Each structure stands twice: as structure tokens, then as C-alpha cells.
Amino acid sequence: MRTTKSIIASCKKLYIEIIWLRDEGVCAWCDKAGEQVHHIIPRSRSALLFYDLLNLILLCKGCHHKHGVDAAAGIHWFSTTFKARWEYLHEVIADEWGNMLPRRNVIKSSWKKADYLEIEQVLKEKLADLKE
């Protein structure tokens, strides 16, 4: 019997592999070899976007650090480089007036094992599509 913790670990492994394939192993910011998967909108802002592939990019270690130190510069870069993706992500975390919604970690704490199994299945299907 699989535990929720092992399913979550499987989801992380899957989304990392998907982002590596999608971004062709290259840092989205500087075109060096990618090393780390980065969440544009962090889990602390929206648990709903944690497994959303449009919220993930591959960065080299230096750019990942730079984005962490100066998140505003990273968001500015992402919002101008990936305009459609930013508009989608911003829509999820903003109210009808464009104001940031309160933190949503409460939602993730209510997720059940079945929710993670569903996420895992979607990620497996996406990975299979990318490998074709």
C-alpha cells in the first residue's frame, strides 16, 4: 500500500522530469545548463499552482539563487518573457480587481490521498505525451 508521502515524492519526480524534457535541459533565464526546477508562484502564495506545469521553469543554480534573492526582478523577467503564462498564473492568484488573494496553503492541507493520486496520473500522462 502506497503512502501519501510516497505519492507526493512520485509527483515531484514526475514534474521535474517533465520540466527537464519540456525546457530541453536549458536554463530559461540565461540558456546555460538547467539544474533546478523553480516555482514562479511559490506554494506559500498558491498551493493550487504547486503542480501546475505552467508555473514551473528550469533554471541554473545561479539564476535560481538570483530569482530567490530578487523575486521582483524574476517576476518582471518572467512576466515579460512568458506573457501568456504570467497572465494565466496571475489570474489564479488575483481577485477580480487584480489584488493578490490571501495565502492559500489552507487548501493544500485539505488535500487527500486521492487528490495526489489524480495529480500523479495527470503528470504520468503528460510525461508519456512528451516522450512520444
61: containing domain: 4-131
pLDDT tens, position by position, 18-65: 999 999 999 999 999 999 999 998 877 777 788 999 999 999 999 999
Strand, coil or helix: what is 98? coil
Q: What is the pLDDT of residues 68-101, one digit of tens each?
A: 888 888 889 999 999 999 988 888 777 656 666 6
| C-beta separation of 63 from 30 below 8 A | yes
- CB burial of 92-122 (b: ≥16 within 10 Å; e: otherwise) equals bbeeeeeeeeeebeeeeeeeeeeebeebbee
**What is the distance between the alpha carbons of residues 11 and 64, in angstroms, rounded to a whole number?**
21
- Provide the whole-model pTM: 0.84
Amino acid at site 123: L
Q: Going along 4-126, which residue ranges are E strands?
A: 36-39, 56-59
Give 5's pLDDT tier (boundaries 50, 70, 90).
very high
- How many structural domains does the chain have? 1
**What does pLDDT average to over the chain?**
87
